């Protein structure tokens, strides 16, 4: 009878700041998590990702390689970051040169189940729950929808 290759979820090779709280199970490896962060259960933060000080990453979030999140951010439940844009019509299949980076500013709140493509998001932005961010956001404000658009002030 065949046996599968087994990979254990866990925390390894992480650079932690002071007073970080993580709720296991989670899969954190090769990333940097700054001071006073909270990382909820069932999260994955991959190699090279950086989480800024006082940021909260809620349960079931996925932060892939090439993602940098600023200070004082909130990443809601089930938020997904994407680094492969399928530029060749399909998955990069390990061709890392096809991956793109994401940079999230400081004081950014991203609502539950949002999807963040490889973009840059300015400081002081709110992304509504369930939104899909496909383009850079350079102006502070509230954005929502698929694709995410700035909401008008009333």
CATH architecture of 11-146: 3 Solenoid (2.160)
In tens, the pLDDT along 65-110 reads 999 999 999 999 999 999 988 888 888 887 888 889 999 999 999 9
Would you state the pLDDT for residue 6? Answer: 83
pLDDT digits (tens, 9 = 90+) for 19-61: 999 999 999 999 999 999 999 999 999 999 999 999 999 999 9
Q: In what order do the strands lie in the sheet containing 80-81?
A: 11-12, 27-29, 44-45, 62-63, 80-81, 115-116, 132-133
pLDDT at 148: 97
Q: What is the DSSP letter of 152?
A: P
Q: Check pLDDT > 70 for residue 133.
A: yes
Contact 148, 128 (CB under 8 A): yes
């Amino acid at each position: 009878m065949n046996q599968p290759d087994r990979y254990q979820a866990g925390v390894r090779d992480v650079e932690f700041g002071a007073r970080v709280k993580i709720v296991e199970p989670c899969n954190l490896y090769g990333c940097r998590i700054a001071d006073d962060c909270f990382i909820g259960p069932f999260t994955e933060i991959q190699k090279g990702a950086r989480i800024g000080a006082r940021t909260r990453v809620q349960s079931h979030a996925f932060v892939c390689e090439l993602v940098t999140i600023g200070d004082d951010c909130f990443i809601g439940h089930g938020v997904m970051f994407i680094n492969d844009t399928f530029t060749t019509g399909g998955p990069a299949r390990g061709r890392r040169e096809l991956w793109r980076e994401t940079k999230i500013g400081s004081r950014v709140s991203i609502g539950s189940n949002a999807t963040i493509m490889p973009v840059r998001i300015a400081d002081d932005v709110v992304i509504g729950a369930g939104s899909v961010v496909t383009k850079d956001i350079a102006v502070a404000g509230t954005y929502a929808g698929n694709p995410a658009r700035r909401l008008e002030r009333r």
